[in-house]
A and B are shown apart, each in its own frame.
Chain A
Amino acid sequence: MTKSRRLKLRVFRVVVLLLMGAFFLMPVGAMLEFSTRGTDVTSPRTLDAWLRIAQTPGLVKGIVTSLQLAVITSLGMLALLLPTMVWVRLRLPRISRIVEFICLLPLTVPAIALVVGLKPLYVWININVTPSVLALAFAYLILVLPYSYRSLDAGLAAIDLKTLSEAARSLGAGWGTVMLRIVIPNMPSAILNASLLSVALVLGEYTVANLLNFQNLQVEVAYVGLTDAPTSTAVAVGALLLAFVLLMVLALVGGRLQQQHYVPGQRA
C-alpha cells in the first residue's frame, strides 16, 4: 500500500469515526443539556433534575427493579442457552438450524403480538406463582435470545469444543466440570457480550412491561416524564451512560483476558 493511500484511508477512518461519534453523542448531549437546564433561558445550569431522581420513589424503585431484572435475565439466559448450545453442537448438530431459528424468532415477533400471547400466561403466573415484577424476566428471556444466541454462537465457534470437552472427559471431568472449567473460561468475551446485550435490552425495555402492567425503569421514566420531563431525561441519560460504562468494562476485560491467555487461531 502506498503512503498516500494509507493516509487517505486514515483520514477516511477518522471522518467515519467522527460522524458516528456525532450521531451517537449529539442526542445524549442534547438530553444532558435539557436535564441540566434551569427554569428559564437566563438561569444558570443546575443539577436539580438529577438530584430529584433520588427523591422520586417510583424512579428509584424502577431503577432497582430493572437492575434486578437485568441480572436475573442475564443469568437465566446463560443457564438456559449455554448448556443447550454446547449440547446441540456436541450431540445433536443436526438440529442446530432449528435451535437457531427458534432463538432468532423473537426478532420477527412484534412486542404487541408477544404480549398478546404472554398475557394469559402472566395472568396465571400472577395468580399461581408470583405477582412480582421480577416475573417479567421470563418474557425478557425470550426477547434477549436472538442477541445472546449470536454472541454465544460466535464464542463457541472460536474454540474446538469437541476436542476440548473430550479431552476433559477423558481426564475424568463430568459434564458440569466441562462447562464450568473448560467451556466458560475459554469464551469470556462471548459470555460478557451476551450478558451486556441482555442488560442493555432489559434496561431499555418499555413496551412489554407497560402492556403487561409492570413498573420497570422505562415505564417509570415515561410516567415521570408526564410531569417532570428534565428528571425523566436525566434518568434516561443515566441508563445510557451505565450501558456505555458496561461496554467499556467489557472491552477492557475481554481484551485483557485474551492477551493473558490466548488469541483463538494463533499458534507459536
Chain B
Amino acid sequence: MDVQTTRQRAGVEVRLEELSRRYGPVTALDGLNLTMAPGELVALLGPSGCGKTTALRLVAGLEEANSGRVVFGNKDVTGLPASKRDVGMVFQAYSLFPHMTAMQNVAFGLTLRHKTANERRQRAGTMLELVGLSGFADRYAHQLSGGQQQRVALARALAIEPTVLLLDEPLSALDAKVRSRLRDEIRRVQLEVGITTLFVTHDQEEALAIADRVGVMQSGHLEQLAPPTVVYSRPATPFVAEFVGLTNRMPGVVKDRVVDVRGAKLPLVQNDVPDGPVTALVRPEAVSLVTDGASEGPLVGTVIAVAFLGATSRVTVDLGGMTVLAQMPTSQASEHPAGTRVRLTLRPDPVLIQREEASPAGA
C-alpha cells in the first residue's frame, strides 16, 4: 500500500456489496463484500470453484448477480450490461479477434466510441508502445506468441480508458518464463496508468508478487483480504495458511496462549484459544536445521530428501511418524544431505492453530 500513496491515482473506488450468485443449488458467490481503493490492484486468489472468476464476471457484467451491488465510484452499475459498464478485460483464453491486426484489435473499442481514424490510430499506437509491441501493429493474432497476444489484449483493454481493469487469469496459458515477465509488465503498466484493477488467479506466487492486497477465497466468500506480506505471515484462517505457501502441520499443546510443539514454545496468532491439544501450522522457512551431534530428542530427525529450488532448497526431515519441511538458502541446505541426523529449531513466529480433533494427523 505504501507504493500507492506515492503515486498518482487515476482510478475510482470499486465496491462489491453483498454480492451473491447461485447456479441452481450451487452457491458460487455468497454475499461477497470487497472495496477497492482508487488505483489499487486487488488479486482474488483461491482454488477452482471458490467463486473468484464469478466475482470478476459479475463486475464485468458478463453474469447477473442474484443479489448485491457493484458500484464504480458513485455509480451503481449492477443493472448495466457488459457493453455499458466501461471495463477493460483481459481473458484467460486468447481473445484477440483473429480477423483483425494487433492495431485494429486495440482500436476496436475506440471505433465503437466513434473516435476519428486519426484519434484511433494515435491512441492504439500509444497503447501498443506501452506494452512494448509498437513494431507488431500489423500482425494478426496467429502471427503473435501467446505472451504477445496477451500484451495486445492488455493494450486493447486499456485503450478505451476504462473505469476498472479486470484480469481473468491472463497468464495461466503461458509458460513459466513468459508468465513471470508479463506479470511484472502488467504491474508496471497498471501502476503507470493508475487504474483500479481486479486480478483473478489461482497462482499464489502471481498474486503475492503484484497485488496491493490479496483476497483469499473459499466456497464463495473471502477468507482474508490483506496485503501479501500479511496474508503470508499472518494468515487469518487455517485455510489461508494452507493455501498460501507450504505449511507443516505439527501436533502441539496450548497452555497460557502459547503452543508447545515438541518442546518448542511458539506464540499464537489467534487470541481466544482454550488450552488443550491442537495442530500448529508452521511455515517451512520458520524451521531451521542444526547438526550438533544430537541423536535423540523430540525435534531430532533424519534428512530424507533435499529438493533444489534454485536460490533456496527444501529439506524433508523425518521426525519419526511425522515429516517436516524446512526451507533455507541452498548453501545451508547443502550442509544437510540425505541421511544426516539433524535437530530442528522453530523460529518463534506467531503460528495459527487448528483444534486437533478437527484436523488430520501428520505434516
Contact = CB atoms under 8 A, between A and B. Distances in A.
A196 B91 CA distance: 36
Contacts of A173: 83, 108, 112
Contacts of B109: 171-172
Given A163-B91, A171-B156, A177-B112, A186 B99 contact: yes
Nearest to B148: A268
B112 A268 contact: no
A186 B97 contact: yes
A168 B100 CA distance: 13
Contacts of B113: 172
A8 interface: no
Contacts of A102: none
Given A262-B140, A268-B142, A168 B87 contact: no
Main secondary structure of the interface of A (DSSP, over half): loop
Contacts of A266: 142
A163 B93 contact: yes
B197 to A, nearest CB: 14
Given A163-B93, A186-B98, A263 B142 contact: yes
A170 interface: yes
Contact of B89 (A167, A174, A261, A267): A167
Contacts of A28: none
Interface in A137-173: 159-160, 163-164, 166-173
B19 interface: no
Given A171-B112, A171-B160, A159 B144 contact: no
Interface string B142-173: 11111010000100110010000010000000
B82 interface: yes
A187 to B, nearest CB: 10
Most interface-central of A159, A164, A171 (chain B CB within 10 A): A171
A170 B89 contact: yes
Contacts of B97: 164, 167-168, 182, 186
B82 A169 contact: yes
A169 B140 contact: no
Most interface-central of B83, B86, B88, B140 (chain A CB within 10 A): B83
Contacts of A163: 91, 93-95
A185 interface: yes
B119 to A, nearest CB: 15
On chain A, which size bracket covers the interface?
20 to 34
Interface in B114-148: 140-146, 148
A268 B145 contact: yes
Given A177-B112, A261-B140, A262-B142, A172 B95 contact: no
B60 interface: yes
A267 B91 contact: no
A172 B83 contact: yes
Contacts of B166: 170
A177 B160 CA distance: 17
Contacts of A159: 98
B81 interface: yes
A186 B61 CA distance: 24
Nearest to A178: B83
A260 to B, nearest CB: 8
Interface in B224-280: none
B62 interface: yes
A172 B84 CA distance: 6
B99 A261 contact: yes
Given A268-B143, A268-B144, A268-B145, A169 B83 contact: yes
A262 B98 contact: yes
A174 B83 contact: yes
Given A186-B99, A261-B99, A167 B142 contact: no
Contacts of A267: 94, 142, 145-146
Most interface-central of A166, A170, A173, A263 (chain B CB within 10 A): A170
B82 A166 contact: yes
A169 B81 contact: yes
B72 to A, nearest CB: 14
A262 B141 contact: yes
A84 B89 CA distance: 26
B142 A170 contact: no
A255 to B, nearest CB: 15
Contacts of A268: 142-145, 148
Nearest to B81: A169
A185 B99 contact: yes
Contacts of A261: 98-99, 140
A22 B82 CA distance: 56
Contacts of A166: 60, 62, 82, 89, 91, 95
Most interface-central of A167, A168, A173, A262 (chain B CB within 10 A): A167
Contacts of B95: 160, 163-164, 166-167
A258 to B, nearest CB: 10
Nearest to B139: A268
A266 B60 CA distance: 29
A167 B95 CA distance: 7
8 contacts: A164-B95, A166-B62, A167-B95, A169-B82, A171-B88, A172-B160, A173-B83, A268-B148
Interface of B: 60-62, 81-89, 91, 93-95, 97-99, 108-109, 112-113, 140-146, 148, 153, 156-157, 160, 166
Given A160-B94, A166-B89, A266-B142, 6 more contacts: A166-B95, A169-B83, A170-B166, A171-B109, A173-B112, A267-B146
Interchain residue pairs A-B with the least CB separation, the first 6:
A171-B109, A167-B95, A170-B89, A262-B98, A169-B82, A172-B112
